[in-house]
Structure 1
Amino acid sequence: MSHLQAHSFHAHAEDDNGMPNYAYELFYQQGMSCYRWGLPRPYVLQALRAVSASYMQRFGPVSFWQLRAFAYGLRGLDCAGLRQRAAPVEYRWPLPPDAAWQVVACLYPDGLCDLDFVHPVSRRFWSEENGFLELPSYDPPTLGGWWFEEMGFEIMRMQLAMQVQITDRPSAHLKSVKLFE
């Protein structure tokens, strides 16, 4: 019996044919992503709620062993030992200054993301007075909108609205006509 199989929840890691079990991997990988990016507890809980809601919508109730698989991934452990962190050691994820502010990931058409806080009552963004919050990476394939959505962050898809251009006034195409003389 392998070390992983010694814990009962690891018995669910493979299906009857020896293939990885999606229900196990989904929760384990979500926990591992939280570990690798060094998410603080509020964002870890948000990620757990997101993966649970996604799973329940498609397959039904979540089992206790799936929560344990998430916790195992959150420890950063795999069959080779401890995984390397993706976020720099000194990086700390920004948390809202108080409960009134909500976290939002701003996703731009080019795939880049910014993290911001929004106040639902005043409808103000934190970045209006303080600038955007720093992220550990701005590489869309590594930490893009897909990742923030998977982790349960609110996504605000930014779109180009319109561009104003000031030019000389063009000459009129219509001329006045006298109808009656």
Structure 2
Amino acid sequence: MTEPTAPSQHLRAGLIALAAAFVLDQAFKLFMFQVVDIEARQIITVAPVLDLVMAWNHGISFGLFRQDAELGRWLLIGFKVVAVVLILWWLRHAESRLTALALGLIAGGAAGNALDRLLHGAVADFFAFHITTASWQFRWYVFNIADVAIVAGVGLLLYESLFGNRPASKSA
């Protein structure tokens, strides 16, 4: 029988990132529903390139694989739970603080969106970036703080894989 490995020394940092992403996402969503009452409002312009809107995402990233049926909803929730469990396993073995922080952000964002799907049947999205000129218009997908945490975490993992600490190569 193999002896279980000790948790990573970076586990705590990752769990703090997870909790921060989750709490910030859920607190902002609560604020948008309870204080702003975003569901009863039209577009709220925050800046020339940023609006707050109410958009329910019934699919996964960017609205892909839209699921309106209960079975699809529960499959997406199950997928998120499995993803978070696997990320937590990876986090437990993280070899660097940056990896731990990245994994915590990803898991916290995924958990925030999973809770939305559990409570509301879909994920609540609010941020709508856009650029409009006289002859051209660009609109990005509507997203939330959990999505920002996930993208930031993936970005940190990519950064570390490309530029992270590597042992110096030995010359012959």
Q: TM-score, normalised by structure 1?
A: 0.21
Relative contact order, CA 8 A, sep 6+: which one is greater? 2
Bigger proportion of residues as helix: 2
Q: TM-score, normalised by structure 2?
A: 0.22
